[in-house]
Amino acid sequence: MSEETLVSAFTILRRRLHSIATHLMPHGDDAEDALQEAFCRLWQRRDTINSTREAEALAATTLRNICIDSHRKRKIETVPIDEQHDREENDDSDSREELIEEVESIISQELTALQKDIIERKEYNGETTEEIAKSLGMQETAVRMQLSRARKKIRECYQKRNQQ
């Protein structure tokens, strides 16, 4: 798509996109920043955009994702307070060993070969998602998704085993 066409499309969409941004980001400056970031990302991809309609869809999706990412960055992480957590903090090394063995058992029995490989590279070898993606010939987003699914599966299985 030509630069002029992209600028024209974005100018036409600006009001609608600004409305979306202000809905998702209550502070006016944050909405403006998100809108600007969306345009910058589209500008970098201008050679791959084929039509005004595609530019509209990409702009809306990109803006939405930027707003969501911004909210996630601001989210304050909390630590759950429960008896299980307190027990784990106070347990001796023997119970930590048992916990590690149980998690490793879940990893070996419940995860796919790809998930096992990614978990091992990330958690045991300390590789970054970028390094893992390159060595496995995958997209970085696919690696993050597999890592997320693996961690979720481990949590679910661990909780299920400890409820029985």
- Per-residue pLDDT at 81: 56
Query: What is residue 133's predicted lDDT score, i.e. its pLDDT?
Result: 93
> Among 3-7, 16-20, 71-75, 154-158, whose mean pLDDT is lowest?
71-75
Domain ranges of the chain: 3-74, 83-163
Residue 73 and residue 36: Cα distance in Å, rounded? 18
Structure token pair of residue 45: 């991809």
The pLDDT value given to residue 72 = 74
Residues 37-59 have pLDDT tens digits of: 888 888 888 888 887 788 888 88
Neighbours of 88 (CB within 10 A): 12
Share of the chain above pLDDT 90, in %: 19
The residue-averaged pLDDT of 90-106 equals 76
CA neighbor of 32 nearest in space, from 44, 20, 48: 20
Which CATH number is correct for 3-74, 2.40.30, 2.40.160, 1.10.1740, 1.10.150?
A: 1.10.1740
How many C-beta atoms surround the C-beta of residue 159 within 10 A?
10
pTM of model > 0.85: no
Q: Does domain 83-163 have CATH number 3.40.50.300?
A: no
